[in-house]
Amino acid sequence: MTTPTTDQGSAPEVVRSVAVLGLGAMGLPMATRLSTGLEVRGFDIAAERLELAGAQGVTPCASAAEAVDGADALLLAVRDGAQLDDVLFGERGVAAGLKEGAVVVLTSTVGTTALVPVVERLEAQGVDVVDAPLSGGPARAGAGDLLVVVGATPTARAKAQPVLDLLASTLTVVGDRPGDGQALKTVNQLLCGVHIAAAGEALALADALGLDLERTLDALMAGAAASFMLGDRGRRMLEAHTEQGAEVKSRLDIFVKDMGIVGDAARAAHLAAPVAAAAEQLFLLGATQGLATSDDSAVVKVVRPERTTS
């Protein structure tokens, strides 16, 4: 870890202790990774997750307030803007327990609209925010191999650098304002959601035309139609119609949320986004058809409920 060099007397204190609230699929590997270089305190409502955290170098706490008390940083991985607001300012919100000069590192995709009022409230009590939505997954989180985009003031980034360095293999600073990270992640999710939906339609059409899907996917990935999402989700789409379905690596309802954020952002910018809107409808239909907790590759079943070829 490298401490940023600034004029003596103005150098921000870098993070040495971190509170991680929520030790689920992403929270626990991130907390474990951070514990290799920092003091980490964690809290989760599930006792078994606390026990796992304790065995992996994280100090388990009896409450969120205990985890946050005196911490230099709070790492948050929440589901959406409503949960972010509740964790910080709800009935048992922890914002009041954050010390002055602390920094909140938000790793979730919640959208700029949800983040801005949170930033204003935290800054009013002397707490910085680093807007750092990430991509990767549990395995990459545990290895410090996440892709992170950051929007934050230089001072906030300097404070949180030890946290970011431990989690990210690729870190891109996209702006000096909290919210800039959310903005870029929104654009990213527009593309990802559209690519997944397009891959589902393409493979559904191939199936309807009687093509061998394995050969079709291999041929598409060898040409100009190839994309990361086609190659990644396409393989799982071939398993979508099996009894057990594809392994859940990214739930379909995450894209219901994220494409909703995309739509909100486009409307706020007075920008037409018809392709994104069409993709959002496919994910919404999937959720109403009982696929919300399935892997997002199951969107192929929305346009092709039953597979013809095998």
Residues designated catalytic: 185
The CA distance from 65 to 21, in Å, is 10
Task: Say whether 174 sits in a helix, a strand or coil.
Answer: strand
Q: Which two tokens stand for residue 141?
A: 């989180």
In the block, tokens 């948050």 appear at 76
Give, in order, the Cα–Cα distances in Å from 289 to each of 79, 219, 226, 232, 304. Answer: 21, 31, 29, 23, 12
Task: Say whether 242 sits in a helix, a strand or coil.
Answer: coil
Task: Say whether 95 sits in a helix, a strand or coil.
Answer: helix
Residue 309: CB atoms within 10 A of its CB come to 13
DSSP string, 157-172: HHHHHHHHHHHEEEEE
Q: In 66-120, where do the E strands start and end? A: 73-76, 103-106
